[in-house]
């Protein structure tokens, strides 16, 4: 542990990250940025080698390119998800909704299109680890309610109470966003606050990730009485349908 300016700064060397990318300059660039944050990083030229290493020693997070020799990143993601809920970030040169949808469906936690901003990626890694630590501190059997939607924080489930108790399937980012909005349901939450708390991005990073995630969350909540309302020029808040 390192003390700086009176604050307690926790080293990250206990966090092991695996990267698989067949483009050496991208792989080494991401590796160097993560190592500057004091993460323990192991890089692989393809997904098959990463998967073999993961079977021998589990990592705390995985970064996977899609287009690689041998099994592509989506195949490796699917293999890992059969036995582990380790956070997975997908990288791809193909900016397509189909790739995004497949990656999320297979269980990836996030998706970056190349060229990747190493700083954005590092911020996302920080946010993922921060959310994991917050989840560990959450009391067991804690529930959040708003309108006809109920969140089980321990079970990571969202239920539509007016829809016969049907579970609403959300991605990790959608789930975290809904939890944060519900925890702060008495007020409007700014985009900058969401980017910081959910994704680990600061206000200087230009990204539509909050808006895009809200758009998908709205669609999944369409059969409930809960709405993610836009506060124009500011952010979002939860409200009930009229």
CATH number at residue 157: 1.10.10.10
pLDDT in tens, the chain (242 residues): 333 333 334 445 589 999 999 999 999 999 999 999 999 999 999 999 999 999 999 999 999 998 889 998 889 998 998 888 888 998 887 655 555 555 555 667 777 888 888 888 998 898 888 877 776 766 666 899 999 999 998 888 999 988 788 899 887 778 889 999 999 999 999 998 988 888 776 655 556 778 888 988 999 999 999 999 999 989 999 999 87
pTM of the entire predicted model:
0.66
Residue at a domain's end among 135, 159, 179: 135
Q: Are residues 108 and 213 in the same domain?
A: no
Residue at a domain's end among 111, 135, 159: 135
Q: How many CB atoms lie within 10 A of CB 87?
A: 22
Helix 209-220 to helix 172-183 angle (10° resolution) is 90
Q: Are residues 66 and 179 in the same domain?
A: no
Q: Are residues 97 and 165 in the same domain?
A: no
Q: Are residues 130 and 70 in the same domain?
A: yes
Q: How many domains does the chain have?
A: 2
**CATH code at position 91:** 3.40.50.2300
């Amino acid at each position: 542990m390192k003390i700086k300016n009176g604050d307690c700064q926790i080293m990250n060397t206990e966090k092991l990250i695996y990267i698989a990318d067949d483009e050496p300059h991208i792989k080494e660039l991401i590796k160097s940025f993560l190592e500057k944050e004091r993460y323990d990083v192991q890089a692989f030229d393809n997904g098959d080698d990463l998967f073999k290493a993961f079977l021998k020693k589990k990592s705390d997070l995985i970064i996977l390119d899609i287009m690689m020799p041998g099994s592509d990143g989506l195949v490796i993601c699917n293999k890992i998800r059969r036995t582990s809920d380790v956070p997975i970030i997908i990288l791809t040169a193909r900016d397509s909704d189909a790739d995004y949808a497949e990656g999320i469906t297979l269980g990836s936690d996030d998706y970056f299109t190349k060229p990747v901003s190493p700083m954005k990626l590092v911020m996302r890694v920080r946010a993922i680890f921060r959310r994991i630590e917050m989840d560990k501190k959450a009391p067991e059997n804690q529930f959040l309610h708003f309108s006809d939607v109920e969140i089980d924080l321990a079970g990571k489930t969202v239920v539509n109470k007016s829809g016969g108790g049907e579970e609403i399937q959300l991605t990790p980012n959608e789930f975290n966003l809904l939890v944060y909005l519900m925890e702060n349901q008495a007020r409007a939450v700014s985009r900058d606050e969401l980017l910081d708390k959910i994704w680990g991005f600061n206000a200087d990073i230009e990204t539509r990730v909050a808006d895009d995630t809200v758009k998908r969350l709205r669609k999944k909540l369409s059969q409930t009485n809960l709405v993610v309302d836009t506060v124009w020029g500011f952010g979002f808040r939860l409200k009930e349908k009229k």
